[in-house]
Amino acid sequence: MDQHILYDEVLVNGSKTALTLSADGILQWYDHQNVLQCLSVEKEVLGVSIVGQQIIIRSFIETEGGGFCFGSSTRNLVRKSFVFEPLSEDSRLNLCEKIQGYVDSLGRPKKLFVFVNPFGGRRSASKVFTDDVKPILDDANIEYTLQETKYQLHAKEVSHTLDLSKYDGIICVSGDGILVEVVNGLLEREDWEAALKMAIGVIPAGTGNGMIKSLLDSVGQPCTAAYAMLATIRGHKRSLDVATIWQGETKFFSVLMLAWGLIADVDIESEQYRWMGSARMDFYGLQRIIRLRKYNGCISFVPAPGFEDVGEASNLGVESISMEPPISQQHGYHGPKVDLGNSIWRKVNGPFISIWLHNVPWGAENTMAAPNAKFDDGYLDLIVMRDCPKLALISLMSEMSNGHYVKSPHVLYIKVKAVVLEPGSRTSDSTKEGIIDSDGEVLARGKGTYKCHLKSLMVYDKLKIVVDQGLATLFTPI
């Protein structure tokens, strides 16, 4: 008993039993069939409350594995309530105080700001919130403010002006798009350094879901709203690298990826087949491989240690490789302050089939784009494809679900600190150019591209990209 924070007798379905809470946070009792039950407060308990004469412990448990002890090998979470009837009023108050006190000691969020994007992806976010998010917030006794996004960049605007002192975190019930908007909004605040310590949680409700897939897959958990919510509720945090992409005085902050060539073309041009759902990527990807495009251009980079011999020496001048974005009069983060002028610069010349820069392993739930990517290593993973037979390319695309495609001799896969991308025209038609895509949004549309009449953030020309290590903060399962 000296190891117990709590030891008291209660009734469970009319049967008297001892309810104990150990110093390491394990609740134990015998049920009415005299079977030992246990719950890890840290891993499984959402919240505790008094209802009449009863104490109700609300939990999230994995359904198989013999009983409800944590550590089950199954990958399916369900909500379950356990009801205890203390033998006295004093006992009831003491039990609730001790269990709630242990929960509070874990540093969990108590008030969250929740974005729901009802228009994104499968348009399922509102249902996901109602079915999967709200019940768990209620079980965990977490207060929240709900904001449905009304238009593109709405979440960015709200994040830019939100009174963060009222909240312990932000949840994005959407695909990756709202996360990107929130990070960009926080980075443009006057108090951006403090704002970036605000943890952001992502609940999968879009077509991509690359960030939350990367987080959950890192601990072997499936990409579901339940596991994503548990990661948020538990309150563990990790830092996330942020890449600054800029052209002149125009900047964009990326947390996922940048693509040019085949990947960007499929990502953006397949929007015309959005009615097909996620199958549009495979369908249009096959079309693009059959009628394969190659692009002239050049990519220069500062390689991570171990990749200094990749490519050839770059002859970029010191002026052209100034990698500090210009400081405008606006408040906010202006990009990483790094001097790469004396760094080793390498380059690879085109033509290219595809260039992909990735910050996390998964680009979508079914696409492991960069299997070696880390959330906060201070590097981007660069994947380059210059030449590949069409049949081999089809085979490679099928291996994107497990990341094995990067082992192909047709794929160059390295880590880099900084990049200068100089995109060119298609090799088959110099009057037509390409699309540069970052985090699902078009950064630049070249001549003759899909919807090239639309205004984009940047022009189809030289871009500079530098990563800043551990800048943002995410809720994480570990």
Q: What residues act catalytically?
A: 176
Do the Cβ atoms of 376 and 239 come closer than 8 Å? yes
Residue 389's φ and ψ, nearest 5 degrees, are: -60, 150
Q: How far apart are the first and last CA of the chain?
A: 30
Long-range pairs for 313-318: beta carbons < 8 A, 24 or more residues apart? 313/345, 313/346, 313/347, 314/345, 314/346, 314/347, 316/345, 316/347, 316/420
Do the Cβ atoms of 213 and 204 come closer than 8 Å? yes
Do the Cβ atoms of 87 and 135 come closer than 8 Å? no
Using alpha carbons, select from 18, 27, 9, 22 the residue that is nearest to residue 67. 27
Using alpha carbons, select from 41, 142, 137 the residue that is nearest to residue 98. 41
Residues comprising the chain, all counted: 478
CB-count exposure of residue 91 (10 Å: 0-12, 13-18, 19+): middle
